[in-house]
Structure 1
Amino acid sequence: MAHPVDVHVGQKLKQIRTLRRHSQTDIAQRLGLSFQQIQKYEIGSNRIAASRLFELAQIFDVSPAYFFEGVNGANDSEVTPCNTSTTISKALAAIEDETVKTRIVTFIEDISGMAVGRQG
């Protein structure tokens, strides 16, 4: 049975991969792996080695700590689910109209405060 932290890290990998619009094959090729290995990472059935996690962080231009965001620090075996983020990522990826997708992303950035320096 997969450890909850491995499952969480895999979910974070899938989340950022989907948000950045990369396929499992794209990431696998950059790492010299098969897409099946990326699938196993994403479901948590295979652990991601620290060196591989570092490479993934470089590919996505995030801190390695990104993959652990949401893990409950009080008990490492408990993981805070990121179902809302995953659901939003999947829904956004399913939108085919790029103009609509861009408007939604802009809206989310505006209400989250991420677009502070952007002129509207």
Structure 2
Amino acid sequence: MTTKGSKYRARTESGDPDPIDVHVGGRLRLRRTLMGLSQTDLARSVGLTFQQVQKYESGANRVSASRLFHIAESLDVPVSFFFDDMPREGGLEEQPKVAFEPDRELLELTRNYRSIADAEVRRGIYELVKRLANKDGATE
């Protein structure tokens, strides 16, 4: 949406990438990292170079709709995932921040959890972690 007399630009007045492109790139990086994929792994799965993935993740290059669709398929998320947590009113006036930066321990835990083939065992671990995280020590 543009206002009278203004022109939509892919970059801000200062030459920085559009904050929406930065947000989408941050969400792409978050999902790729949580899945334990390298930039090269993702690039191969959608027919890109890892440098293109780097530029998408930084917001330096804009991701086309068709490319975003294929990336979403490869990362097993809906396209809307890339726009989650983005302010809707008034646009983005400052650089959006990724909800959290996963640390190495969380990434390893997530990868290992996802590799458990037995759904019953996975559910048991999930319930155990929920109980351990309960601060008052009460069980549900």
Settle same-fold status: TM greater than 0.5: yes
Letter in 2 for 1:27: L
Given candidates 88, 92, 110, the residue that maps to 2:106 is 92
Cα distance in 2 for partners of 1:9, 1:90 equals 22
**DSSP 3-state at the match of 1:47:** coil
Contact 2:19 2:96 in 1 (8 A): no
Instruction: Please say if residues 70 and 81 of structure 1, whose CA atoms lie closer than 8 Å, have aligned partners that are also in contact.
Output: no
Deviations along 1:75-115, one digit per CA (max 9) or x if unpaired, are 22246422x522x25552377xx59xx9xx948x738xxxx
Mapping 1:103-118, distance limit 5 Å: 106=126, 110=130
Distance (Å, rounded) in 1 between the aligned partners of 2:33 and 2:70: 17
Query: For the Cα contact (< 8 Å) 1:18–1:89, is it kept in 2?
Result: no
Output the TM-score relative to the length of structure 1: 0.72
Shift of 1:69: 0.5
User: What percent of counterpart residues are identical?
Assistant: 38
Q: Given that residues 22 and 96 in structure 2 are in contact (C-alpha distance below 8 angstroms), is that contact kept between their aligned partners in structure 1?
A: no
RMSD (Å) for aligned C-alpha atoms: 2.7
Partner of 1:81: 97
Paired with 1:73 and 1:59, the residues of 2 have a C-alpha distance of: 26
Match of 2:137 in 1: none
Q: Following superposition, which runs of at least 4 residues in structure 1 exceed 6 angstroms of deviation?
A: none
Query: Offset of 1:31 from its aligned partner?
Result: 1.4
Q: Point out which structure has higher relative CO (alpha carbons under 8 A, 6+ apart).
A: 1
Q: CA deviation at 1:33?
A: 1.1
- Secondary structure of the residue that 2:62 maps to in structure 1? coil
- TM-score of the pair, normalised by structure 2: 0.63
The structure in which a higher percent of residues are helix is 1
Residue aligned with 2:107, SS: helix
Corresponding residue of 1:117 = none
Unaligned runs of 5+ in 2: 1-15, 117-124, 132-140
User: Contact 1:15–1:89 (CA<8 Å) still a contact in 2?
Assistant: no
From 36, 46, 54, the equivalent of 1:31 is 46
Q: How big is each residue's C-alpha offset from its partner over 1:4-32, in whole Å with a ceiling of 9 and x where there is no partner? A: 00000000000000000001001111111
